[in-house]
Every structure is written in C-alpha cells, then in structure tokens.
Structure 1
Amino acid sequence: MDDKPVERAGYHHGSLPDALTAAALELLDERGLEQVTVREVARRTGVSPGAPFRHFADRQALLTAVVGRILADFEQWQLAAVAEDEGPAMRAFGLGFVRYAIRHPHRFELIRSKVFGSRQPTELRQRLSGIEQALTGIIVAGQQAGELRAGDPAVVGLAGQALVYGLSQMIVDGYLPPEQAEQLAEQVLDTCGLGIVNSADFQGP
C-alpha cells in the first residue's frame, strides 16, 4: 500500500494554511489537545510532514491559528445566543459561553491555554478585542435599560467572565454531571447573577 501523501487540489494556490487549520480543529474536536500534532495534521490534509512548517513555525503557531478560528465561531455563537434569547442580553451571553464549553470541551481547553493566561498571542488580539467590545456594548446597553446596576463596565464584565469561566471549567473537568450541566448553569447564573443586576428593578420569585 502506498502511504505517500498526495497534496490536494488548490493547496498550491494559498489555501493550505486554511486546510491545515481546519484539519487541526477537526483533530482537536475528535481526540483532544494532546493528540493534535503537526505530523497527523499533515497526514489528514494530504501533504508531506514538512509542508506545514512552510506556513507555521511550529505546533504552537498552528494551535494559535486554530484558536483564531474557534474565537470567530465562538463570537458568532455568542451573538446568536443574545439575538435568540428574549431575556437579559448579559444572561444570554453568559449562558452562551457555558453552553459552548459544554458542547466543545476540547476547544475550551485550548482557549484556556491560549487566552486565559499571562500572555496572549498578538495574532489573537484583534479578535479578542472584538469580543470584548461586543460584551462591553451589551453591558452598557443593559445599564442604560436599567437591567444592570451602574458601575464600570469592565468590572461588571470581569465579574460575569469569572462566573462563566469558573462554571465552564467545573463542567469540563467533570466536577458537575454532564447530563445536568446546562440546567445547573442556568440556575447558577440566575443565582449569582443577582450581584450585577439592578436590584431595584429585580423581581424575585
């Protein structure tokens, strides 16, 4: 059997980086972060083991490109969650974060390592800035509508981020039962979210 990889049509016209990134994301979803290797990505893409290094300096550079694609998908997911929910946008945004982690635990693991650390790759800053601006807009609109209490939007955003990040981590780590994770997430957000809603307007059960 001939195992020599055959480069697919179109890769000589600038689409190989995209194909490699797509293959790496597919591998991440299937097997987890530790199993994403440049060699296996090359094999899946149908190119020689050395071909990816013409576009990505190393495995970390490839993973950074994967994170960029995940963040693009995550942003659209979040905006759709807000648009489809009739309740407060801040709650929908937070619940969307948790639901994404539940459905894509390996992606969450990679985002955690690349985004929630002491250093963020410069290639991701524009994408992260867009997500941050979207969240800030939601917070400001919520404050103006009286849904959220007044205060620095950055602090309100950090409080919300800490809640959904910690909750997502507990779910992905298996601390919370996966079959109940989404229901528990809703209950926790409704309970802890009382710290940032406008208490004067909140009507409890």
Structure 2
Amino acid sequence: MRILLIEDDEKTADYIRRGFGEAGHVCDVVTTGADGLFQSTQSDYDVIVADRMLPGLDGLSMVKAIRAAGKKTPIIFLTSVSGVDDRVEGLEAGGDDYLVKPFAFSELAARVAALARRPALQQEQTVLKVHDLELDLIRRRVVRAGREIDLQPREFSLLEALMRAEGRVLTRTMLLELVWDFHFDPQTSVVETHISRLRSKIDKPFDVPLLHTVRSTGYSIHAPR
C-alpha cells in the first residue's frame, strides 16, 4: 500500500512513517498543505493521512482542493481538533474518516487499511457514445456524424435509456418504467410512437441504422456488426 502523510510535526511524522514502513507499506511524507495538495494530485496513493492544522494552506482547504481537482483517494484526518462540529466539518470538506490525537498507531493502521479496501468510486459518465452517435447528458445535446439532432425531452430520455443499455434489448415494459415511470401497462402505443419519432431523427437521415426492433421482444441500439 502507498500512503501519503501530510504532517508538520516531525516526531509524529517519523513515528507514523516508521510504523507503516515496518508493516511493509510505502509512506511519503510532506509537511505543508501546499506540498500535500501538489503531491496528492501529481501521484497516485491508496490513502492520504492529513493533519488538519498545517502551515500555510490548512488541512480543510487542502482537502477541498484535492476533491475539486477530481482526486477520489480516501483521506483520513489525523488531528488534535476534536469537537463534534470539527469532525463534521472535516467530513463535509471531503474527508472519509477522522482520528483524534493522541492516537494508537494500531487504530490508525486499521482505519487506513479499511479505507484502502473500499471500492473506488467510478466517475459518472456524462457522454454516451454508440458508433457515431453521441449523447451529452450535461449539455442535453445529441450529435450524430457531426450533425446536431433536436430531440424532445421524452425522446432524449428514451435515447439515453437505450444507449445506457447498448447492445441489450429493452422490452416495452422496461421502457415504460425507465422513461415514463409507468409500473403498469397503460395500453397505449406511446413507446412505439416515440421509437418511430426517434428513429426518424437519429437513423433515417444517415446511412447506417443504429436503432433496431427485435420482433416480439423490444428495442436495442448498437453499432454496425
């Protein structure tokens, strides 16, 4: 395991570094918030251990900046600031755990190991792609082969559901639940009507069809095979 320790007290830093070293881990040490921010965003670590009271850039501001930079590395605060409000503030800043000084190294090691075992958070996908078709969830924009396509809100939601399930068949019932939030069959042709409209916009003006009807089953969107 590779650990980044951000601690300005030399004795505490040496104690922790030696403890992790004896356990077979690599522990890099920096002593300021600015160095901690730089090191954590330039290198990959399994866990970051950070003091809250740091010279220059304080621990809270540093962690907020680390999160703003897109780093999801687990962070545990190690600090003498022990109030309930202080702990809440640390967690809200982006910390994953909070251990108050004085501490037992065995507890710190156990908490670090627990954080390292957490599954990594996957970054939310904001652009869906199938062949030359792109759907931008943030900008609410659909483009195929460089040509922008104007979709109504329900058509956009229908396309999003199909593209998220690329290559798999979604039944009429599944689409009613995903797009219209119907948990019953309204006995209308709403799905078929919207599929037809969607196909006329994303397929008919182009040479290669992407949206396919699977007879007696449902609909699927996939790249040419």
TM-score when normalising by structure 1 = 0.31
Bigger strand share:
2
Q: Which has the higher contact order (CA 8 A, sep 6+)?
A: 1
Instruction: Give 1 or 2: higher helix fraction.
Output: 1
Larger Rg: 2
